[in-house]
Amino acid sequence: MNCPKCRHYMKRIEYRGIEIDRCTRCYGLWFDNFELEELNHLTGSEVIDIGDTDLGHEQNARTHILCPQCSPPVLMRSESDKKQPHIQFERCPKCKGVYFDAGEFRDYKELTISEFFKSIFSK
Ligand SMILES: [Zn+2]
Ligand SMILES: [Zn+2]
């Protein structure tokens, strides 16, 4: 599979049995449907997001991204996270795959961790 943003090869990587694709150039991450949810709840899974945040920001400005999984290609929709509106990612309306730019997954997970602590201390 090729990166929907920079067109370079995406390599399959695995974290605790969950496979995701990571771009070998811009380090964008591709999650199939439900993989994002699963990884979001696994402690330490942010290690898969090794890319440079600045490059991620640059890549984030690219819109009109075509889903790398669907054929014929489907235009992905830009979405922002409800809890963290500054995080914008692309979701395919057909296969529900999600693309995160480098650094966004780390950012996305930070809230989950702080929420986790909040839930412990509010008991
Ligand atoms: Zn890329
Ligand atoms: Zn798709």
CA 92 to centroid of ligand 2, rounded, Å: 5
Q: At what angle do helices 104-121 and 53-60 cross, to 10 degrees?
A: 110
Q: Domain map of the chain by residue range?
A: 10-121
Tens digits of residue pLDDT in 106-117: 999 987 666 667
CA of 55 to the centre of ligand 1 (A): 10
- What residues pair up with 64 in beta bridges, in sequence order? none
Residue 74 region, left (φ>0) first, then alpha (ψ -120 to 50), else beta? beta
Ligand 2 centre to CA of 73 (Å) is 7
As given in the structure block, the two tokens for residue 95 are: 């296969």
pLDDT of residue 86: 86
**Residue 110 structure tokens:** 């930070």
The pLDDT tens digits for 52-106 are 999 999 999 888 899 999 999 999 999 998 888 889 999 999 999 999 999 999 9
Of 38, 32, 104, nearest to 69 by C-alpha is 32
Is the confidence at residue 12, as pLDDT, over 70?
yes
Residue ranges with CB less than 5 Å from ion ligand 1: 3, 5-6, 8, 23, 25-26, 28
In the block, tokens 């380090």 appear at 27
